[in-house]
């Protein structure tokens, strides 16, 4: 049996151990409560970074605007006379790629080509107004979107507002070429490659978007219904 002194010593030792554990736990809890959680790093998602630069923020250079002017006018132009008709070399000169130049057909070909009564018909086109100037030209061009890793290597899609005027178009019997048949405005959309400095693609307006209702009427033709296929006759390559 333990004598009273040993028993007393054991009891004291036990009390000291309990007190020590209590102090350690208390200090641990109070220390943890005083610390603030570390702030998580702020990351920007790729979508947020892309949204910071809207497509319309891209500014075309003067040289690029000149290319869009020449290409837009060439795309909207038409001449039914064989000796002065637009040829692949003319489209190349206007900035088209050779592939596009060889396959391109203006939408007007579906209206005039092959018609003996319209053998001299032609459509003149203009981008940027008669007075010209960078400021006026800029108003006729709208950047729709672009892609690429850095400036100088972008592929840019631009809407080009083109004014067109018919020449030597013969009206149908009892009709007159006047008023709204004399001119119109429409949008040709061009895709441009900055590296090659070439037009890769032309999206032509639909028949209904040519602003040519007066011209159709003067020629005694109905305006094509919505959804008419312009790819076959107007070439969208």
Average pLDDT over residues 53-76: 88
DSSP secondary-structure letter at 96?
A: B
- The answer to whether residue 65 scores a pLDDT higher than 50 is yes
Domains of the chain by residue range: 62-219
Chain-centre distance of CA 94, in angstroms?
21
Phi/psi of residue 162, each to 5°? -120, 130
- Taking only the tens place, the pLDDT of each residue in 113-139 is 999 999 999 999 999 976 657 788 999
- Rounded to two decimals, the pTM is 0.72
Give me 141's structure tokens: 């061009």
In this predicted structure, what is the pLDDT of residue 234?
A: 35
DSSP 219-232: TT-PPPPTT---HH
d(CA 113, CA 237): 19
In this predicted structure, what is the pLDDT of residue 180?
A: 80
d(CA 77, CA 204): 12
In this predicted structure, what is the pLDDT of residue 57?
A: 80
- The answer to whether residue 56 scores a pLDDT higher than 60 is no
| Class level of CATH domain 62-219 | alpha beta
- The answer to whether residue 85 scores a pLDDT higher than 80 is yes
The band of 22, judged by pLDDT with boundaries at 50, 70 and 90, is: low
The band of 6, judged by pLDDT with boundaries at 50, 70 and 90, is: low
Which carries the bigger pLDDT value, residue 228 or residue 80?
80
Residue listed under structure tokens 């009273």: 4
């Amino acid at each position: 049996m333990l004598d009273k002194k040993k028993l007393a010593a054991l009891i004291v030792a036990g009390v000291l151990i309990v007190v020590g554990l209590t102090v350690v736990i208390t200090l641990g809890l109070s220390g943890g409560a005083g610390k603030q959680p570390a702030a998580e790093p702020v990351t920007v998602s790729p979508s947020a970074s892309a949204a910071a630069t809207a497509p319309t923020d891209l500014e075309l250079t003067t040289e690029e605007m000149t290319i869009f002017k020449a290409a837009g006018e060439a795309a909207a132009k038409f001449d039914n006379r064989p000796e002065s008709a637009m040829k692949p070399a003319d489209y190349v000169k206007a900035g088209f790629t050779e592939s596009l130049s060889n396959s391109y057909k203006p939408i007007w070909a579906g209206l005039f080509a092959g018609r003996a009564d319209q053998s001299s018909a032609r459509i003149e086109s203009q981008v940027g107004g008669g007075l010209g100037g960078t400021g006026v030209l800029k108003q006729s061009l709208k950047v729709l979107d672009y892609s690429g890793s850095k400036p100088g290597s972008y592929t840019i899609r631009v809407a080009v507002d083109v004014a067109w005027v018919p020449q030597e178009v013969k009206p149908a019997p009892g009709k007159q070429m006047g008023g709204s048949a004399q001119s119109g405005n429409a949008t040709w959309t061009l895709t441009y490659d900055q590296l090659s400095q070439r037009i890769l693609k032309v999206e032509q307006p639909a028949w209904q978007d040519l602003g040519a209702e007066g011209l159709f009427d003067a020629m005694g033709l109905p305006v094509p219904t919505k959804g008419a296929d312009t790819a076959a006759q107007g070439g969208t390559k």
